[in-house]
C-alpha cells in the first residue's frame, strides 16, 4: 500500500557495523521544478516500492591490449583474495637489430611507469618476471579468465617493494617520474643475445623467438594486506633497457618495448571467493535473501548486483498519477580507507538470458549530471535518477528483467563496494518516487 506524505526532505541513515559509519542523504525536489505552485498541492511521494536485490558473479572481462597493466595480490577482509597477473609480448625497438659478433650481457631493467594502486601500499609486495612458455594469441588470450603458461624455473627478475605510484623515482643519477624499476638477470640477457639475425630483423620475428613475459605477484595471505598496482602502457617509457658490450668495445644500450604496441592481456583470479565472509559467499551461491542486509560488487570481473522492482505496477498506477521524479539511493556501508569504494558506479539493463546489456539505460543518455552514480563522499552514498526508465517500465516499453549494478571499466578497476541491503536495519536501499495525482 502506498504511503502518501507531504513533500519534505528525505533522510537516509547508513548502517553502522564493523567497518561502517553513519551518514545522511537528502533527496532533492527535482520534480517540483517542472510544476506550477498550484500543482504542488496534488503532489505526493512514496518510498515503499519493494526492491529485490542480491549479488551475483560477474562475467569475465575483456582484457586484451588494455592501456594499463595491473599486477598484484590483495586479501580484502570482506571479499577475500584477488590476484592479478600480466602477460605481454616484448618487441624490439629497431628493425634489423644486431648486437655484434660476441655480445656479453651486463645488466638490464624493466621499467613500469606507475598509474595508480588499490589496497594496502604500506606492506611489502614482491613481483616476479618469467619467460612465457608459449606464444600469446589474441584470439585465445582475450579475457580475464584466461591464462598462459610461463616458465617458473626461468625467472628473469624480481623485486620486493612498497608501491609508491605518486612518488618520484631516482635512478641514472636523476629524479624521474614515478616508475617501478625491476632488475633483470642474465637468464633474460643471454636468451636475447643468443637470437639469430632472422629473429632480430623485425618485431614480429623477435616475438616468435622470444615468447614474452609474465609479471606475477607473491600471493597475499594476510587479511587486510596487499594491493593491485596499475602501470601505464601507453608510453615508450614502459620498456626493458639492456646494457651489453662486445670484447674491446664500450658498453651499449638497447631498448625493448613492453607497452601498447605489444599484444598483452590480464588474468584476474578471485579464488572463487573461498576466503570471503559468509554473507557474501552464501549470497553468490544462491541464498539471495541475504541481499536484504548487504550487497557486494567488485571490479576485475568479480561481482555485480541484480536489482529488481517486481511489484512496481502494483505500487504505482500510471493511469491515475504522473511520475515527476524517480531516484534510487544506495548507502555505502564499508568505510575503509584502504579498500575504498569506486568513484562512480553504473546501471545496465538485463537481457532475456540474464546477461548484462552493453548499452546504457535511457536516463544515462541525459548525461552524468542527470543520471549521477557518482560517489558522494560527504553522504557516503550513491544516487541514480531513473525517471525515464521507471516510466518505461510502467508503460511496458522495456522488459522487467531488472538492472545490473556494475563497476564501470571493470577490466581496469579493482575497486569493491559493500552496500546496505534492501531491508537493512537503518539504511535500506530505496526507490523514491514523486508524482502528481490526476483529477
Q: Which of 428, 439, 320 lies closest to 49 in space, CA to CA? A: 428
Question: Helix, strand, or coil here: 331?
Answer: strand
pLDDT in single tens digits along all 439 residues of the chain: 333 333 232 322 232 233 333 222 333 333 333 344 544 445 788 888 999 999 999 999 999 999 999 999 999 999 999 999 999 999 999 989 999 999 999 999 999 999 999 999 999 999 999 999 999 998 789 999 999 999 999 999 999 999 999 988 888 788 889 999 999 999 999 999 999 999 999 988 999 999 999 999 999 999 999 999 999 999 999 999 999 999 999 999 999 999 999 999 999 999 999 999 999 999 999 999 999 999 999 999 999 999 999 999 888 888 888 899 999 999 998 888 899 999 999 999 999 889 999 999 999 999 989 999 999 999 899 999 999 999 999 999 999 999 999 999 999 999 999 999 999 876 779 999 999 888 6
Query: Cα 158 from chain centroid?
Result: 26
CATH number of 31-59+275-437: 2.60.120
Task: Return the number of other C-beta atoms located less than 10 Å from residue 419's C-beta.
Answer: 29
Residue spans per domain, the chain: 31-59+275-437, 68-262
Question: Helix, strand, or coil here: 381?
Answer: strand
Please list, in sequence order, all residues whose beta carbon lies within 8 angstroms of the beta carbon of residue 414, skipping any fewer than 6 positions away: 70, 74, 82, 84, 118, 119, 228, 298, 299, 300
Amino acid at each position: 500500500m502506498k504511503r502518501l506524505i507531504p513533500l519534505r526532505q528525505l533522510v537516509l541513515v547508513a548502517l553502522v557495523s564493523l567497518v561502517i559509519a553513519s551518514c545522511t542523504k537528502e533527496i532533492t525536489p527535482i520534480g517540483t521544478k517542472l510544476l506550477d505552485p498550484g500543482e504542488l498541492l496534488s503532489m505526493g511521494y512514496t518510498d515503499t516500492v519493494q526492491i529485490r536485490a542480491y549479488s551475483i558473479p560477474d562475467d569475465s572481462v575483456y582484457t586484451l591490449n588494455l592501456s594499463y597493466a595491473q599486477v598484484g595480490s590483495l586479501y580484502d577482509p570482506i571479499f577475500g583474495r584477488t590476484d592479478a597477473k600480466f602477460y605481454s609480448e616484448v618487441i624490439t625497438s629497431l628493425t634489423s637489430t644486431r648486437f655484434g659478433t660476441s655480445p656479453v650481457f651486463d645488466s638490464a631493467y624493466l621499467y613500469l611507469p606507475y598509474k595508480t594502486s588499490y589496497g594496502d601500499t604500506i606492506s611489502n609486495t614482491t613481483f616476479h618476471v618469467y619467460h612465457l612458455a608459449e606464444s600469446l594469441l589474441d584470439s585465445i588470450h582475450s579475457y580475464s579468465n584466461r591464462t598462459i603458461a610461463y616458465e617458473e624455473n626461468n625467472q628473469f627478475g624480481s623485486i620486493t617493494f612498497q608501491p609508491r605510484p605518486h612518488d618520484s623515482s631516482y635512478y641514472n643519477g636523476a629524479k624521474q617520474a614515478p616508475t617501478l624499476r625491476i632488475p633483470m638477470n642474465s637468464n633474460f640477457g643471454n636468451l636475447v643475445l643468443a637470437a639469430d639475425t632472422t629473429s632480430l630483423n623485425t618485431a614480429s620475428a623477435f616475438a616468435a623467438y622470444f615468447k614474452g613475459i609474465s609479471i606475477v605477484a607473491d600471493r597475499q595471505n594476510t587479511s587486510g594486506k596487499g594491493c593491485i598496482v596499475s602501470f601505464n602502457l601507453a608510453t615508450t617509457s614502459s620498456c626493458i633497457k639492456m646494457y651489453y658490450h662486445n670484447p674491446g668495445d664500450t658498453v651499449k644500450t638497447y631498448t625493448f618495448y613492453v607497452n601498447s604496441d605489444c599484444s598483452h592481456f590480464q588474468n584476474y583470479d578471485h579464488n572463487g571467493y573461498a576466503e570471503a565472509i559468509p554473507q557474501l559467499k552464501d549470497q553468490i551461491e544462491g541464498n539471495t535473501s541475504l541481499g536484504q542486509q548487504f550487497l557486494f560488487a567488485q571490479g576485475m570481473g568479480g561481482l555485480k548486483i541484480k536489482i529488481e522492482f517486481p511489484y512496481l505496477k502494483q505500487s504505482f498506477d500510471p493511469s491515475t498519477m504522473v511520475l515527476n521524479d524517480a531516484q534510487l539511493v544506495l548507502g555505502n556501508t564499508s568505510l575503509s580507507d584502504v579498500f575504498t569504494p569506486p568513484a562512480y558506479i553504473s546501471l545496465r539493463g538485463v537481457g532475456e538470458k540474464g546477461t548484462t546489456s552493453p548499452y546504457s539505460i535511457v536516463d544515462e543518455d541525459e548525461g552524468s549530471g542527470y543520471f549521477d552514480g557518482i560517489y558522494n563522499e560527504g553522504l557516503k552514498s550513491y544516487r541514480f535518477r531513473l525517471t525515464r526508465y521507471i516510466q518505461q517500465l510502467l508503460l511496458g516499453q522495456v522488459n522487467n528483467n531488472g538492472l545490473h549494478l556494475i563497476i564501470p571499466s571493470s577490466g581496469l578497476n579493482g575497486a569493491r563496494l559493500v552496500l546496505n541491503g534492501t531491508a537493512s536495519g537503518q539504511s535500506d536501499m530505496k526507490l523514491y518516487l514523486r508524482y502528481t495525482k490526476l483529477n
